[in-house]
Amino acid sequence: MIAAERGAARNTLAAYAADLTDFARFAAARGQELATADPTLLQIYIAELDAAGLTARTAARRVSALRQFYRFLLREGLRADNPTSLLDAPRLGKPIPKYLTEQEVDSLLESAAQHGALAHAAVEILYATGLRVSELLALPRSALARNATVLLVRGKGGRERMVPLSEEAKKAAAAIPARGRWLFPGRDPRRPMTRQGFALMLKQLALAAGLDPARVSPHVLRHSFASHMLARGADLRSLQMLLGHADISTTEIYTHVLGERLQRLVEAHHPLSDKLDSASKPISE
């Protein structure tokens, strides 16, 4: 259902399958089955996850998998109740996304330019568009045909969106030697570069740029794109469209940048800001 109706990604399907399998084993060890497990067993399971030291994020994903599974059974008439209706999910704080400074991105771009056309284009496009790495690697060469100024991207759930492309990114992409149908081909040109291969390339570029490789990943570049856009005046709604978020609450993780920008705006434009500055200065003798 989540594959056919919701277009869930392969990684999501694998994660949910693993979560349901884990609970099925837990239930079997206590004489119950996955499809007919009772609410008490589910509550015991979640309590044991917490006692085992599972992170709140992982536990929350398992609760989500279980809720969706039992809602599906209820909707299909395979159960008369939903045993997860009173289940409490672990509370998650909103993490501040990790991102690079503009100067660090410049260093990474300089490093990429010295390591070949493919590396240069990969970093230019990723930072210029904020694409997910899976979206970037799925781009065919035809996506940049006829001097395209925008990319048509198919994101999560099969949703399509248009993302503007900078001149520098277009020039960098045009310099990639043609090897098959993919813009970023793998060792076998019939297939796109793998996510693992791309991440390794990015770590090597970071090392050459004098950056800590542990701080650099495709998703960190996506966070950097979003954070820098907001810092320079973009609004959340536009950023939501560019990033391909289905819900603006996902985009709101970047509001830490908005807070910093609003503070600077108040300091620069509030009518009392000059008086406050004067009051804070020591009186000269």
Catalytic residue list: 132, 156, 219, 222, 245, 254
Using a 10 angstrom Cβ sphere, with 0-12 exposed, 13-18 middle and 19 or more buried, the burial of residue 59 is middle
Q: How far apart are the first and last CA of the chain?
A: 78
**Beta strand residue intervals within the chain, DSSP E:** 150-154, 160-164
Q: In terms of DSSP bridges, do strands 150-154 and 160-164 run parallel, antiparallel, or are they unpaired?
A: antiparallel
Distance in angstroms (rounded) separating the CA atoms of residues 173 and 168: 9
Dihedral angle of Cα 21, 22, 27, 33, to the nearest 10 degrees: -10
Dihedral angle of Cα 14, 19, 24, 29, to the nearest 10 degrees: 130
Do 20 and 33 touch, CB atoms closer than 8 A? Answer: no
Do 104 and 114 touch, CB atoms closer than 8 A? Answer: no
Residues contacting 256, CB < 8 A, separation 6+: 96
Paired tokens of 285: 């003798």
Long-range CB pairs of 166-174 (<8 Å, 24+ gap) are: 166/124, 166/128, 168/124, 168/128, 169/121, 169/124, 169/125, 169/128, 169/129, 170/144, 172/117, 172/120, 172/121, 172/124, 172/125, 173/121, 173/124, 173/125, 173/144, 174/144
